[in-house]
Structures are given as C-alpha cells and as structure tokens.
C-alpha cells in the first residue's frame, strides 16, 4: 500500500491518496484543492480515484470534490448525507468499507465539528482536524473542547503506540508522540507542578 501526501496552498489542507503499489483504484482523503501536483500523483502512479473520504464538511477539506467528480466519478463518503451540493454515502461510527483491497474503518469523533470522522486504514489514522501533531482541532467553545479531548483519549489514544497519524493540517505523527508531547492532551492529565517537574528533569540532563 502507498500513501501520498499533498499540501494544498488553498486552505493549507493535507490531501492523501492511498492506493496499492501497482496502481488501480485508489482512495482520496480530503480533496482540499485539486491542482497539477495532485493530478500528477494520481496519474503517474496509474491510479483512478474510486473513493473520496471526507473527514468533515469544512471547505478547506472539500473544495476539490467537484473537479474530481468530473475527472473520475468517484463515490463520496462522509458522516452527513449531503456536503454542499454533492450527494454522499453516509458513514456511521464503526462502519467499514473496502476499495481495491484497502480496508477502511470510520470512527466518529465530534468536537471540531459534529460530522468529524477519522478513517483507519491498516496502522494509519487519517484524523482530519480532530487530532494534529501537538494540537487538537479548534472548537466553538470550551465544552466542545473538553468533549473533544475526552473522546480523543477514549477512541484514539487507545490505539497501538506505533499507529501513524496523518492529519488534515501539518506534519504526520504517531499515537505515542501525541500521548507524550501534545500539550492539549497532557494539560488535563498532568498538573502544572508535575509538568514543570518533568521539564526540569529534562533540563537537568544537559
């Protein structure tokens, strides 16, 4: 299996193309913006986009859907029935689908938006704006933020330490790295005193 990452300068969103080593039908996650670079990734690897997975309906993650529909006529999957003008197939928490031998599992994690989904493919999680390297997604208020932290800990941090995370914005990461270094996730578990102690211990090692 291959995972290609593409950075869209419109909306600063990461788009991922997941396909088999020898080409064929592929999955595209969060088409933020379709440009020549993304088309090159698809075409040079002999892929045809069969499935589009949307992590949530924000424009930065969906504005390339129309162009891809014209080019490849893929099936679109998201949590809600309609994303802007496009009809999509609804996915609920725990639903799974398959594309060219690639097994996909949907995990519903509301907080950043009510329709946020995380997709699990093998040992990789495509988290959209729910969990990014050293950050969690923005929320409309502190109650939603608290809910998001709780649900990330419950549903994502239980995965194996080596599980790879490919977020909607920024660099990739792993579950262990987020558990240890994401200040948004450690702030509730560690008291300020304990965090200072840990930091001081690291300083003293130098």
Bin 11: left if φ > 0, else alpha if -120 < ψ < 50, else beta. left
Pick one of 70, 158, 162, 193: the residue that binds another protein (CB under 8 A).
Answer: 162
Site for another protein in 97-126 (CB under 8 A): 122-124
CB-CB contact of 74 with 18 (8 Å): no
- Does the footprint of another protein cover residue 183 (CB under 8 A)? yes
CA–CA distance, 31 with 53 (Å, rounded to integer): 9
CA–CA distance, 62 with 152 (Å, rounded to integer): 23
CA–CA distance, 7 with 4 (Å, rounded to integer): 10
> Token pair of 113, please?
């938006």
Nearer to another protein, 57 or 174 (CB): 174
For residue 168, the minimal CB distance to another protein (Å) is 12
Nearer to another protein, 3 or 71 (CB): 3
Site for another protein in 41-80 (CB under 8 A): none
Distances, alpha carbon 195 to alpha carbons 110, 158, 171, 182, in Å: 28, 22, 24, 12
- Does the footprint of another protein cover residue 87 (CB under 8 A)? no
Site string for another protein, 4-33 (x = CB under 8 A): -x-x----x---------------------
Determine the interface stretch with another protein among 1-9, 30-38, 51-59, 150-158 (rule: CB under 8 A). 1-9
Sheet holding 96-99, edge to edge: 96-99, 102-108, 117-121, 124-128, 164-167, 173-174
Nearer to another protein, 114 or 180 (CB): 180
- Does the footprint of another protein cover residue 180 (CB under 8 A)? yes
Dmax over CA atoms of the chain, in Å, equals 59
Distances, alpha carbon 8 to alpha carbons 64, 68, 116, 181, in Å: 10, 15, 20, 26
> Token pair of 22, please?
């020898």
For residue 37, the minimal CB distance to another protein (Å) is 12
Pick one of 20, 80, 172, 197: the residue that binds another protein (CB under 8 A).
Answer: 172
Residues making contact with another protein (CB under 8 A)? 1-3, 5, 7, 12, 122-124, 133-134, 160-162, 164, 169-174, 176-177, 180-183, 199, 202-203, 205-206
């Amino acid at each position: 299996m291959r995972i290609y990452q593409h950075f869209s300068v419109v909306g600063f969103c990461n788009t991922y193309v997941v396909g088999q080593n020898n080409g064929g039908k592929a999955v595209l996650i969060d088409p933020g913006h379709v440009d020549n670079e993304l088309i090159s990734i698809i075409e040079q690897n002999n892929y045809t986009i069969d499935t589009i997975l949307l992590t949530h309906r924000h424009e930065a993650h969906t504005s390339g859907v129309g162009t891809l529909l014209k080019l490849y006529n893929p099936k679109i999957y998201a949590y809600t029935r309609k994303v802007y003008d496009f009809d999509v197939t609804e996915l609920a928490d725990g639903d799974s689908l398959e594309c060219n031998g690639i097994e996909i599992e949907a995990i519903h994690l509301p907080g950043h938006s009510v329709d946020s989904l995380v997709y699990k493919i093998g040992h990789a999680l495509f988290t959209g704006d729910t969990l990014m390297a050293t950050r969690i997604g923005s929320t409309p208020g502190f109650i939603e933020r608290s809910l998001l932290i709780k649900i990330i800990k419950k549903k994502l941090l239980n995965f194996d330490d080596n599980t790879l995370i490919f977020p909607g914005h920024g660099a990739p990461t792993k579950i262990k790295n987020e558990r240890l270094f994401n200040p948004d996730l450690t702030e509730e578990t560690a008291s300020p005193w304990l965090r200072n102690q840990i930091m001081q211990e690291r300083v003293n090692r130098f």
